[in-house]
Every structure is written in structure tokens, then in C-alpha cells.
Structure 1
Amino acid sequence: MNGVQLLLIVGVGIAVTAVARRHRIEPGWVIVVLAAAASFIPGVPRLELESELILALVIPPLLYSATRNAPVTAFRANLKAIIYLGVVTVVLTAAVLGWLSSLLLPSIGVAAAFVLGTVLAPPDTITTVSHGDEMGLPKRATSILTGESLVNDATALTLFTIAIAAVNGEHATWGGGVAAFFRNALIGIAIGGGLSTITLLIRRRLGNPTLETSLVLLLPFTAFLIAEELHASGILAVVAAAFAVTINLTLDPNFQYPGGYRTRLQEEQVWKTLDFLLETFVFAYIGLQLKWVISSPNSARTLVAAFVLLIAAIVVRLVAVFVLFGRWRLRYDRIQRRAASFRSARRPPPPSWKETTLVGWTGMRGILTLAAAAGIPEHTASGAPFPGRDAIQAIALIVTLGTLLIQGTTIGWLARRLKFDLTTERAEYRAMRARGHALVEAARREPDASLDGVDAVDASFDAQRAAVGTAVRDRVISEEVARELIEDLDLRQAARHT
């Protein structure tokens, strides 16, 4: 890839996004289609990146940015659904697609077939979540999909490592895989938490918004790379770091410091810009591979296998989600009927059938699938060519493109057809915002005669932010409302200093 290609991708992406949003069309899907068509233009070179670059430069910032907006309380409240989707469903999908791959492509062997299954297993729900409000998604569905996106990649990469080891002739077991997953997860979370603590301690001493923002921008890359070097989960390291930094900087008064509001305002715009650039590149990168995939040797058999696996990937997720959530619903109803204790009656209910349908349809594959496929080694440990490597990479691209075009372009339509009743949810949200504004007003201090004008203004805003943090800890308002209030306070404080 050269610089001219990159500039063209970004420039065209800006123009396409502007037109698409004007017509209320999801720009990512338009970019995929246009990039796929552009790959057939004579003279257009193939855009290729090393998988290590994709994993290290694209995934960490996108994951960190998604986690910044994920409320911890919502993650905890929907933990059961998140585990179902991010762990159980990914394992089931990998197993079913691996088995199907062994039937469709017997020449590559069972172990390599399960490598393909793990490559195709994890959906990419981040893009859907980022446009949840525009689609009219209920908050709970958005929280579940956000939580899934923070867990499923780690599960899939662990399975991928086990499958690669099996191809290399190593003895791999499910028990060993479970132990490896928990080991990688715990070490990754510890690395992310440790780096976030260091970042918070350094940040408040820099005293410069540009330096502070630069430090935080380095955090996801650092957490990911250190964790991967230690053979731990780089994805969970990034998630842990993002949770810790965002919560502390926004809601903990102990981490408020003079000038912090300027950095928060600057960071918000920096992350939005970075998200746009990376998502534009990812969608274009996916589409630009199409010509070379369908023109590869044995493309007819590969295309048939890819089509079957594409349909299977969609169906397996739908079935798995309905079965898992359906069993949850049956158990919940039975417990509620027999509720013998206050605790059992207070258990969180499973998603409704409408939420289940929406979550089941949100199974688009994305950049991690392509990165994992590109990361398959050319040769096995014995020096022989890796069985079916070209076919696996081609199928990964076709399934990714297919899910984006089939599910990605229809998810908004489905959300509208399901006609979610958000009246109560929106009324509760407005009431919570009103409570938050009342708390902020009550915390506004009168100017302190012992302080000069600037210090008095800052002390007043600090007191209001402290009241917001206390309200979240007391569960008077949600983290989402608190973040909006904090941003509003930051803007007002910046205006007072202008």
C-alpha cells in the first residue's frame, strides 16, 4: 500500500460519508460496495497489509473508543447475555462452521477447517452500536451488543490460536483451551489496569492538553502490544485500560485536576475523528479485496463453500441466540412463578423476543476476521505449506462482505419493522437528566470571597462534577447521563475561560 492509495481512500470516504448521511444511508456499507466495484477497474493495484499491522494499528484504537462509551453498570447488568454472546455463541459458531468447512473442503483437513471456523466465528458489532440511536435501538440491546464486542474477539483469538496449534501437530484440548483463555484474560486485564493507573498518575502532572491527549492515544497501542508480547489477551488489556481511564477521568473527583476539562473536550473530538478515519479505511480495505478473491485458483469450489458458510454463519447466530435466550426466558418465567425469595424475584429478565431478533441479526463480520485470516502462517511447523490458506482467506473475505451487505444494510430496516416502544425508556431518561441537572444546580457554589475570579469559577465547576460522580455511585443517575452532564459542564467552563 502506498501513500497515494491511502489518501484516495480517505478523500473518497469523506465525500461518500457526506452524501450518504445527507440521504440517511449508512456510509460504511456504501464504501464497501464502491470499493468492491473499484477493485475491478483496470490498473487498480491490490491493497495488502500485514495482519500484524491490522491487529496492532486498527483494532486497539477502535476497541478503546468503543469501550469509552460503554457504561460499566450496563455491562454488569447484562453480563449473562454478554457471556452467552461473547463466549458461548462464538464457541458454538466456530464448532459448527469448522465442521461444515471440513465437509465442504475435505482436502484441507479437519484442523485447518476448524481454523476457518474460528476465523469466521466473531461478529463485529461496534459499527451497529455506534449508530444505535439513529436506528432507534433500545438501550439494553445497545448495551448487550457493546459488551459482546468487548468479549467475543478475545474468545475467537484464543480458539484461533488453539486451532493453529492443532494444524502444527501440537496436542490441543478443550480443557487446555479454557485454561489458556482464563490465563490470557486475567493477565490482559491486569496489564490494562496497571497501564491505566500509570497513565492517570502521569497525565495530571503534564499540564498540557496536547500532551495529555497524546498520552491517552498511546495507551491502547501500548496495552495491546505488551499483552501480546506476554502471550496474553491484548483485546482485554485495551478494554480494561479504557474502562479504568474513562471512569476515573470522568466520574472520580480524585482524578479531577486544573485544566482537565480542556483535555476531555479535545479528546472527544480526536476520538471521533480517529474512529471515522479507521472505519473508512476498514470498509474500503474489505471491498478492495474482492477482485483478487474471485479470480484465485479453485475459485469455483471456494465460492460455493463461501456461500454455504455465509448462510450458515447467519443462521447459526440466529439459532444460537434464540435457543440461549429462549432457555433463559423459560427458566426466568419458571423462577418468577415460584419466586420464594426476594432475591430470585429481582433477577434481571432476559431480552424480549424483539431484542433477541435484533441481536441475532447483528452478526456482521469485520476486520478481526480478515486480520485473523491474514495472520495464518504460510507454512506449518514442519515446513509444509499451510493447508488451504488461500481458500481460508478468500472465504473470510466473501463471508465478511456478504454479512455486511445482507445484514448490515438491513439492520436499520429491521429495527424499524420491529417497532420498539421506546416511550418509557425515553421518559425515564428525561427524568434522569432532570434529576442530574437539579443535582448540578444544587452543587453550584456561590463565589468564595477568599478566591480570585478564576479560581472561584473552577471551584464551582469542580463541585458540580463531584456531585455528578456521587450521583452515579449512589445510582441516582446513569453513567450515560453523567457523561453528558460532565461534557456540558466542561463546555460551560471552557466558555467562562474564553
Structure 2
Amino acid sequence: MLIFEWVVGVLLGAVLLAALARRVGAPYPAFLALGGVALAFVPGVPNLKLDPELALALFLAPVLLDAGYDTSLRDLKTNWRPIAGLAFGAVAVTTIAVALVAKALVPGMPFAACIVLGAIVAPPDAVAALSVLRHVSLPHRLTTILRGESLLNDAGSLLVYRLGVVAAITGTFNPSEIAPTFLIGVVGSLVAGPVLAFAYVGVMRRFQDTASVIVLQFVAAFGIWIAAEGLELSGVLTVVTFAITVARYSPGITAPRTRILSYAVWDTAVFVLNVLAFVLIGIQISPILERLNQAEQVSASLLAGMVFLTVVLTRIAWVLPASCIDRLEFTGPRKGRREPAASAEEECAPPGLGLRAAVAVSWSGMRGIVTIATALALPQGGPDGGFPDRDLIVFTAFCTVIGTLVVQGLTLGPLLARLGLEDDDPVGQEVGRARAEAYAAALESLDSKASEGPEVVATEALREEFRAALEEARTHDEGRAPETLPSDAVRRRAIAAARDTVLRLRKEGRIGDDAYYVLEEEFDWAELNATPRAET
């Protein structure tokens, strides 16, 4: 009962901290991290421990599936160079830099364990950065790059992490033996994810009950991770490719009410997982400090501080110079299109973003739930059965998360405001164009269906409503949405035509996933308004 009471209290405290974070425009993980620190020193806190093998599946599978589902494949392809540079280049450099710093400060730590520490703290967390970016109008491309980075850097860092853990425990590392297994695992994951996605879509067509559908979504997230790990594939790559494939091929199999409710459930689940992760690692800090003498505490604090500085400075040192090297297509003209000459500021800048955006990207490297989950997943036990210097690594990882969330997280908002970056709103423009085509398709569906009897008057009224909505969409560049869309049985037919048009535009690549999801939600609510409660 005591543990249950603590969980209830922790969730209540987390809600209050998140509300405070929203009020000050800061990322809520920063406040959760501070709450975890405070909780670590509260007397009487239950000493909860999580099975290391469960940590990655519990915390990462749902978060990665949620992020992968929202990822625009078109935007990933368009921005693949800066995303790859951050997700793989920056992660690799950070891992090596942290490992060298750790080895220099703690000579007795095995180098494999130093590599593991580097892999743990290398990947930034998009949840923290994007929670700040929501409060600031930024170029869409900057947000896309940060999202793509956070999705792919987890895969790279976790692969290095697993190899390092095996090497640290066994004391041996033979690249010639590991490389084939490594490559097979990567290729197998890239194949298994889409295959499982198509099977999942086929199964889900048979379920319409909202509760069952949402439960099966979580079963899929955890089940695919467990299956991938059991087959020695990459759980990260398998879940991410599964989610991206499902997002592309699942429209139409889920009812609007179910889709809207599932979004709310997943947002809540990601929030609760962040809360639990910060609490679980926070309450381990006090026992760790108790096991260290005063000299060891000083040494641990020095290591944590230096690792924090290393991850921050390495990202800055990677992003700013890399944006200048051959301009990485960042400011080069696109094929078949003339562009104005780059300004002095844009000489060192990601494509279309400018130097100020490169500064913003370099400061958006907060660590979060991935770092915490991988630290918690380190094997526990004594000198023979545990991971070398586990306490020191967990303490350093937690301090790095705290440092980046507090120092960068609380200053990112003011920095972005001072940089004065503005969004040209490409998503809004795509939404506007797609909305106009969708309303035109809705009108055409009404004209092609001859109505009889009472439907004649209703259909003519619908035409007037859609004509007004279409005129408003064409008048405004951003495609302003009308306050209401038509409803009832005939209207649902028109909404279905509009929905099919938007789906076609996404398949043709004329609009991105972000614009598609905006319109999908708009039509979901319109269809719900047009559908009696008993039918949904």
C-alpha cells in the first residue's frame, strides 16, 4: 500500500510540475528532473528497483513508436544530410569524447565501460527540445531536423551501447566476429519492421472497439520490441520502421473517434513514462552516494561535471563548423531552381535556416528518457555479475540529464526568442492548398450524387456550406478553416471525399505528414459531429 500511495503522490506532483513548466515556457522534463533530485533525498522513499532487462522495453518501445508514427518520411528524405550528421556523426563524436574524458578522470574504469557511458549520454531527447519549440515560432525545417535526429540517434547510440555492454562484461571484443551479426541485425530490423506493420494493419481491420484497438497498439509496441530483441535484431530500428510504415498505410482502418482518443492516451502514456523514469533513477542517487566515501563522491561529481561539459561543447563544436563545410547543401541552390546568393550570416548555416538556427540546434541537445532508460538497463549485481562502475555511470548519466535539462532547457526559450527566428509556415500553406482541394472534392461528390425527396434541400444547403468553406480556404494563403463543417449522413459522404483527396495528396508527396495530420484531425472531428453517438 505504501508504494501505491507514493505512486499516486508522485503522479500528482508531476502534474503540478508540468503545469508550472508550461507557465514559464520551459520543458517539463527539466522540472521532472529537478523533482527526481528532490525525491532522492526525501526520507522514507521506497527503494524501488527495475529489472534492467525491462527498462529498455518499458521506457523506449512506446516512446519510439509514438515518435515514429508522427515522423514525416518525406521530410526525413529532404533533410537527410543534416539529420544523419546529427544522428550518427554527432553521436559518434560525443561517445568517443565522453569515453576519453572518463578514461582520463577514472583510469581504473574499463575502456568498454567508458564507451558505454558515452553511448548513454550521447543521444539528445526531442521531447525536451520540442516542448520548448512549441512556445516559439520557428522554421519548420529546424523542428523537422530535431525530430529526425532524436528518432535516428537512439538507434545508433543503442547499437554502440549493446556492443559496449557485452565487451565490458565479457572482457573481449572481436570486431570480425561481431560485424556480421551486427549487419544482419540491422538489415533484419529494416525488413522486419515493415513486414510486421503490414501484418498489423491486416489484423487491425478486424477490430473497431476503441478500447481493444488502443490496447492492441500498446501490445504491438511492447511485443515487437520483445520479439526483435529475442531474434537479436535492433528493437529500436524494428519499432521505428514499424511505426513509420503503419502511419503510411493505416489510414482508413481506424474510426475517427478511436483515432482521437488514442492520440490522447498515447500523449498521457509518454508523460507517465517520463515521470516514472525520472523517479526511478532519482531514488537510486541517494543509495549510490551512501555507498561512496567522501573522496569518491568528489571524484564522481568531477566526472559528472566534465561529462556534462563534454556533451554540450561537443555538440556545439560539431554543429557550427559542420554547417560551414562545403555548406553541406545547406545553402547550395536546389537543382533546377535559381536561388539568391547567400548572405554572410547564411554562409555557415543549414539549408534555409541561417546561422541563428544552427546556434539554436547546437543548444537543443537536452538529454532525457533515452539516457535514463539505458542507464537503468545496465546489469546489476556484484563485482562478478554486475556492470563495471555501474553506480558511477548511473550517477554521471543522471547528472548529465539534470545539467542539460536545467541549463539548456531553461535557457533555450529565451535564446530562441532573442535569435528572432521566424517560421514561413510551410505546413500551414500545405494545409491551405490541401483543404481547398478537399472542399472542392466534397462539392463534386455532392454534385455527382443525385438526391431525392428530403435530401434535395439538405444537399443544396450542404453545397452552400462547402462553397463558403472553399471560398474562405482560397481567399487566405494559410487556408483558414471554417468554424464548422457540415454534418449528418449526406455530409459524411462529402467529408469522406475530402478525406480521400487529402490522403491522395500525401501519397503524391504534394503535402507532408504534418499537414496531413492537421487535416485528418479536422475531418475526424467533422465526421464525429456528423455521426450519432450510437454509430461511433
Q: State whether TM-score is above 0.5.
A: yes
Tell me the alpha carbon deviations over residues 79-105 of structure 1, each in whole angstroms, 9 at most, x when there is no partner.
Answer: 111111111111111111111111100
The alpha carbon displacement at 1:464 in A equals 1.2
C-alpha contact (below 8 Å) 1:165/1:172 kept by paired residues: no
Residues 363-372 or 305-314, more deviating = 363-372
Query: Residues 283-432 of structure 1 correspond to what in structure 2 (within 5 A)?
Result: 283-297=278-292, 298-329=296-327, 342=336, 349=351, 351-378=353-380, 383=384, 386-422=387-423, 425-426=424-425, 428-432=426-430
Query: Residues 269-280 of structure 1 correspond to what in structure 2 (within 5 A)?
Result: 269-280=264-275
Partners of 1:378 and 1:9 in 2: how far apart?
25
**Alignment correspondent of 1:172:** 174
Query: Residues 187-206 of structure 1 correspond to what in structure 2 (within 5 A)?
Result: 187-206=188-207
Partners of 1:123 and 1:139 in 2: how far apart?
19
Partners of 2:507 and 2:228 in 1: how far apart?
31
**Alignment correspondent of 1:496:** 530
**Alignment correspondent of 1:253:** none
**Sequence identity percentage:** 27
The number of residues matched between the two structures is 482
The reply on whether 1:443 has 2:435 as its aligned counterpart is no
Partners of 1:266 and 1:86 in 2: how far apart?
32
Gaps of 5+ in 1: 251-255
Which amino acid letter does the alignment assign opposite residue 267 of structure 2? Answer: K
**Alignment correspondent of 2:216:** 215
Which amino acid letter does the alignment assign opposite residue 369 of structure 1? Answer: T
Partners of 1:375 and 1:26 in 2: how far apart?
25
Partners of 1:5 and 1:115 in 2: how far apart?
32
**Alignment correspondent of 2:485:** none
Query: Residues 61-210 of structure 1 correspond to what in structure 2 (within 5 A)?
Result: 61-167=62-168, 168-173=170-175, 180-210=181-211
Task: Indicate the RMSD between aligned Cα atoms, in angstroms.
Answer: 2.9
Partners of 2:70 and 2:394 in 1: how far apart?
32
Partners of 1:384 and 1:279 in 2: how far apart?
29
The alpha carbon displacement at 1:78 in A equals 1.0
Which amino acid letter does the alignment assign opposite residue 349 of structure 1? Answer: P
TM-score normalized by the length of structure 2? 0.82
Partners of 1:56 and 1:276 in 2: how far apart?
16
When residues 47 and 178 of structure 1 are mapped into structure 2, their CA distance, relative to the original with a 3 A threshold, is same
The alpha carbon displacement at 1:179 in A equals 5.3
- Secondary structure of 2:174 counterpart: coil
When residues 343 and 294 of structure 1 are mapped into structure 2, their CA distance, relative to the original with a 3 A threshold, is farther
The alpha carbon displacement at 1:443 in A equals 0.9
Which amino acid letter does the alignment assign opposite residue 366 of structure 1? Answer: G
Partners of 1:112 and 1:207 in 2: how far apart?
48
The alpha carbon displacement at 1:391 in A equals 1.5
The alpha carbon displacement at 1:375 in A equals 2.8
TM-score normalized by the length of structure 1? 0.88
C-alpha contact (below 8 Å) 1:32/1:286 kept by paired residues: no
The alpha carbon displacement at 1:357 in A equals 1.3
The alpha carbon displacement at 1:215 in A equals 1.9
When residues 344 and 104 of structure 1 are mapped into structure 2, their CA distance, relative to the original with a 3 A threshold, is farther
Tell me the alpha carbon deviations over residues 212-232 of structure 1, each in whole angstroms, 9 at most, x when there is no partner.
Answer: 222222221122111111111
- Whose Rg is larger? 2
When residues 280 and 316 of structure 1 are mapped into structure 2, their CA distance, relative to the original with a 3 A threshold, is same
Which amino acid letter does the alignment assign opposite residue 492 of structure 1? Answer: A
The alpha carbon displacement at 1:46 in A equals 3.4
The alpha carbon displacement at 1:73 in A equals 0.9
- Secondary structure of 1:236 counterpart: helix
Which amino acid letter does the alignment assign opposite residue 152 of structure 1? Answer: N
Tell me the alpha carbon deviations over residues 253-290 of structure 1, each in whole angstroms, 9 at most, x when there is no partner.
Answer: xxx25x72222122122212222222233344444444
- Secondary structure of 1:106 counterpart: coil
**Alignment correspondent of 1:434:** 432
The reply on whether 1:462 has 2:499 as its aligned counterpart is no
The alpha carbon displacement at 1:457 in A equals 4.2
Which amino acid letter does the alignment assign opposite residue 264 of structure 2? Answer: Q
C-alpha contact (below 8 Å) 2:59/2:373 kept by paired residues: no
The alpha carbon displacement at 1:4 in A equals 2.6
The alpha carbon displacement at 1:211 in A equals 2.0
Which amino acid letter does the alignment assign opposite residue 222 of structure 2? Answer: F
Tell me the alpha carbon deviations over residues 394-414 of structure 1, each in whole angstroms, 9 at most, x when there is no partner.
Answer: 212222221121112212122
